[in-house]
Structure 1
Amino acid sequence: MSKYLITGVQGFVGRYFVEYLLSHEPEAKIFGVDIAQTCDMPIAYHSVDLNNAIQTEQIIQSTIPDYILHLASISSVGQSWQNPALCFNNNTDIMLNILEAVRKQNLKTRILSIGSSEEYGEYASQEMPLKETYKLNPLNPYAVAKVSQEMLCKVYTVLDVDVVMTRSFNHIGPRQSDRFVVPSFIKQLVTISQGKQEVMSVGNIEVARDFTDVRDVVAAYYAILHRGKSGEVYNVCSGTSHKLSEIIKTAENILGIKADIRVDETRLRPNDAMFICGSSKKINEELGWFPKYSFEQTIKDIVTYWQQN
């Protein structure tokens, strides 16, 4: 029976990963940690402040997991501009606490560190798709923190800590907070379709991103945990990019509306890369992972979620 420790278990991806484990490996023992006091999932839950090195060491010592999926972080670029120090604390510092706890206890635990496509920075469109071999050029505090997290992991592989890493591109799906751009847009469009809102507020909708359904993302994380090569980095992406304007149009078609769209200056980000697309060749060829959910199906499922909530 495998034992899993999931940090940030109550977050968007954490909940989906728990569901994936329950359906694909029902005999697994699942430990979850987060900052909330209570948890409504059928797992062994602990409220832990991972910024506290002692608490982090204690939870790893008491559970001795076979696998750690490290999801706990501040995962918003916008938020990182507002509070860069907090972003570093919740990405780089927590990662260091986990790595040190595993190293000091000489555990054979495999750790999956979740990075971001933001680490690549801006490349010209003719240089797409972004490959794991490309030079990293972070353009915002969140991206810098994630590059630091990845570098720490690589240092610890030299110390015989078993770590695999991702550079995860944008993931979307039902239940994602409307603090993020895609659910924010679709929630607004659903509200407009219900006659409760007149104008749709947006930032730059001509930026293009590589979106993957969260249900495919957790399958990728499971594959990397079990079959990824120690010390290696894997892009988790679809290999296809869509402009935010395409998402709006797809949702409008599903809802049968045409929204009055207006740019809100406060939604515009400094240094926003215009076009990002990842190469999924490495994870496809080495681990046999491919996305199962189409872009259209994902958008439809998000629309349905906001219609019901």
Structure 2
Amino acid sequence: MTDVSSVTELIARVKPSLIFHLAGSFTGLFENDFQVNTLGAKYLFDSILSEKLDTRVVVVGSAAEYGAVLAEDNPIAETFPCRPVSVYGLTKNYQTEMAKYYARTSNIDVVIARVFNLAVPGLSQRLFYGRAEAMIQAYKNKQISKVEFGNLSSERDYIGIEDAATQLIAIAERGTLGEVYNVGSGLPKTMRSLLIEMLSKDGISGDVIVEASSESVGRKGFDVPRIYADISKVASIQNN
């Protein structure tokens, strides 16, 4: 996605009628993440225009675009102002604005799915769910005697892959050109309760959890205490 000629060649060869654009980078390095998260979308749109295709594009963004959210702001609707506090959130928000720009100026058939947190096996360990999954496996293998995390009181919106896919399909089929749609469960869940659920699936007691300071486990940056989605907009097109 960072090589414009490769993107152009792929679009010209496949001539897709529908694209789910899920490419993403969260290295925390602006140059890297900007290349993938922002310029990758631009190369995609330019290639569609050059081939004169009527491709529908579902650009997959992130709840990280909302950034600095206060507890009383929830649930977060798509109209909430984006105030990203991470390079990932910033460059994903650039991607969203890029998509809106092309929808306005070039009539690219693009809609934006702003995905909250996925509860899906095999995620990167840079994400809480993936890190928890890896630590539980290490505990089962007797490599560690406790599962240690920083602050677990933060509340997030977690959605399973089947529900997320159902919402993404509805957005692809019935979403309005240039619009943003939240993808989530619409419910807050503490990180601790999610971790206990994951442990219980393997028959492990929550007593193995150790909650330390975020600094002691190497966690840095701004921690949003509570964020969950208002999903009424995507629900309205699912029910049509």
* TM superposition score normalised by structure 1: 0.72
In structure 2, the residue corresponding to 1:182 is in which secondary structure? helix
Which of 213, 218, 226 lines up with 1:267 in the alignment?
218
Structure 1 residue 122: deviation in Å? 2.1
SS of residue in 2 equivalent to 1:274: coil
The residue type equivalent to 1:231 in the other structure is: G
Residue of structure 2 in register with 1:220 after alignment: 167
The Cα shift of 1:144 comes to 0.8
Q: Give yes or no for contact 2:70–2:224 (8 Å, CA) kept in 1.
A: no
Among the aligned pairs, what percent are the same residue? Answer: 24
Instruction: Describe the shift of the 1:96–1:245 C-alpha distance in structure 2 as closer, same or farther (beyond 3 A).
Output: same
- Equivalent position of 1:236 in the other structure: 183
1:270 aligned partner, one-letter code: G
Residue 115 (1) aligns with residue 61 (2) = yes
**3-state SS, counterpart of residue 61 of structure 2:** strand
Q: Is the 8 A contact 1:192 1:259 kept in 2?
A: no
8 Å CA contact retained: 1:66, 1:109: yes
**Structure 1 residue runs without a partner (length 5+):** 1-49, 290-309
Matched, 1:51 2:2: yes
Q: Which residue of 2 aligns with 1:61?
A: 12
Work out whether residues 170 and 237 of structure 2, in 8 Å CA contact, stay in contact via their aligned partners in 1.
no
Q: Aligned pair count?
A: 235
**Contact persistence 1:209–1:241 (CA under 8 A):** yes
Cα deviation code 1:122-148 (max 9, x no counterpart):
222222100011111111111110111
Aligned letter for 1:261? V
- Choose 130-139 or 183-192, whichever is displaced more: 183-192
- Determine if the alignment matches structure 1 residue 93 to structure 2 residue 39: yes
Aligned partner (choices 151, 159, 162) of residue 204 of structure 1:
151
Q: Which residue of 2 aligns with 1:24?
A: none
Answer yes or no: is the 8 Å Cα contact 1:165–1:232 preserved in 2: yes
| Alpha-carbon contact 1:198-1:260 (below 8 Å) kept | no
User: Pairwise CA RMSD of aligned residues?
Assistant: 1.8
Identify if the C-alpha distance between structure 1 residues 247 and 110 changes in structure 2 by more than 3 Å, giving closer, same or farther.
Answer: same
Q: What's the offset of the Cα at 1:179?
A: 3.5
Q: CA-to-partner distance for each residue in 1:218-270, whole Å, 9 max, x for gaps?
A: 22212211111111110001000111111222234442322051536243231
- The code of the aligned residue for 1:259 comes to V
After TM superposition, the structure 1 = structure 2 runs for residues 68-217 of structure 1, keeping only pairs within 5 Å, are 68-74=19-25, 76=26, 79-80=27-28, 83-158=29-104, 159-217=106-164
Q: CA deviation at 1:178?
A: 3.2
SS at match of 1:245: helix
TM-score by length of 2: 0.91
- Does the CA-based 8 Å contact 2:70-2:225 persist in structure 1? no
CA distance in 2, matches of 1:269, 1:168: 22
Structure 1 pair 179/137, CA: closer, same or farther in 2 (3 Å)? closer
Counterpart of 1:95 in 2: which secondary structure?
helix
Where do 5+ consecutive residues of structure 2 fail to align?
Answer: none
Which of 218, 228, 235 is residue 284 of structure 1 equivalent to? 235
Per the alignment, in what secondary structure is the counterpart of residue 111 of structure 2?
strand
Q: CA deviation at 1:193?
A: 4.2
Counterpart of 2:16, as a letter, is P
- Compute the displacement of 1:167 (Å): 1.0
Distance across 2 between alignment mates of 1:237 and 1:174: 17
**1:51–1:256 Cα change, 3 Å:** closer
Could you tell me how far apart the structure 2 residues matched to 1:175 and 1:138 are? 26
